[in-house]
Amino acid sequence: MAQTNANCPYHKICRRFLKSEKVGVPDGALREDLRYDMCYCEKCHNHRGDREVYPRGIPPTKYVLPLGWARFSLRILKHKLYSLAKDWHVAFHGTLVEKVVPILDAGMLLCPEDVILGGEELSQRPGHFDEHRKPSNFDTLQIFVSPSIKYVESRAYASPISWNDGGTRYQGRVAFQVWVRPGSYDVGPQTIGATDPIDPEFDNDKLEWFTKERPAVVLYGLLVKLDRQ
């Protein structure tokens, strides 16, 4: 198993962010075995000597490592671990900080207009396609993920919030790393109105993966990115 660098100071600060009142990730949501955590700060990434792009799944499909982020492994059914990691594709889903706990409570990503625990109906986020701004016949009531962390960290998805840690102020973002069942999703263009290339590894017309098959998207990592203000 690759070295996790879970003792990195940046990784530890990111864990404090998840446990803070800003996010409030409950005890038991994260795996106790830190070997499954991973820090993707520049120092840890260079120490491991990892590449930036890897193929995953059947058929092999590339994704880009979430450089600059720290990953915390979520509890999932152990019998799923090997087959999903080996056969399924890897993608990311950016979200609001206040949506992390409801997503963990649901145990999966949901579609707009689904009702989460507590009775709140999920709405479509401003800044990307919705029922009033979309191509003809495009269905916005789906789960959207991307193989590009650069895409999902945009304000339209992983909107930053301000957080103070011992006198140091940060802008914090969150996202989920997921496994996606091959053949369950369609591939389409970015939906945030970008005119310039977003990620050099992907064409803007292939940045969205979307599906209505909720169980085909399995949460396995919670990602945090902190930038000093």
For 117-159, write each residue's pLDDT tens digit. Answer: 566 655 555 555 555 555 555 577 888 999 999 999 998 889 9
Structure tokens at 13: 């600060």
Q: Is the pLDDT of residue 1 over 50?
A: no
Q: What are the sequence ranges of the domains in the chain?
A: 9-228
More confident: 175 or 83: 175
Q: What percent of the chain has pLDDT over 70?
A: 81
Q: Is the dihedral of CA 53, 100, 115, 194 positive or negative?
A: negative
Contact (CB, 8 A) for 193 and 136? no
Mean pLDDT for the stretch of residues 174-190: 94
Q: Is the pLDDT of residue 114 over 70?
A: no
More confident: 196 or 85: 196
Alpha carbons within 13 angstroms on the beta-carbon side of residue 102 total 17
In this prediction, residue 3 has a pLDDT band, given cuts at 50, 70 and 90, of: low
Q: Find how far residue 82's CA is from the centre of its chain.
A: 20
Contact (CB, 8 A) for 221 and 177? yes
Q: Is the pLDDT of residue 17 over 50?
A: yes
Q: What is the mean pLDDT of the chain?
A: 86
* Residues 188, 192: Cα–Cα separation, whole Å: 12
Contact (CB, 8 A) for 215 and 111? no
Q: Is the pLDDT of residue 105 over 80?
A: yes
Q: Find how far residue 80's CA is from the centre of its chain.
A: 19
pLDDT for the residue numbered 113: 56
Among 32-41, 82-91, 104-113, 188-197, which is the least confidently predicted range?
104-113
Q: Is the pLDDT of residue 4 over 90?
A: no
**Most confidently predicted of 1-5, 6-10, 157-161:** 157-161
* Residues 211, 140: Cα–Cα separation, whole Å: 10
- The DSSP bridge partners found for residue 143 are 211
9-228, CATH topology level: Phosphoenolpyruvate Carboxykinase; domain 3 (3.90.228)
pLDDT for the residue numbered 163: 97
Mean pLDDT for the stretch of residues 8-29: 93
pLDDT for the residue numbered 215: 87
Q: What percent of the chain has pLDDT over 90?
A: 61
pLDDT for the residue numbered 119: 61
pLDDT per position as a tens digit, 45-95: 999 999 999 999 999 999 999 999 999 999 865 556 666 778 999 999 999
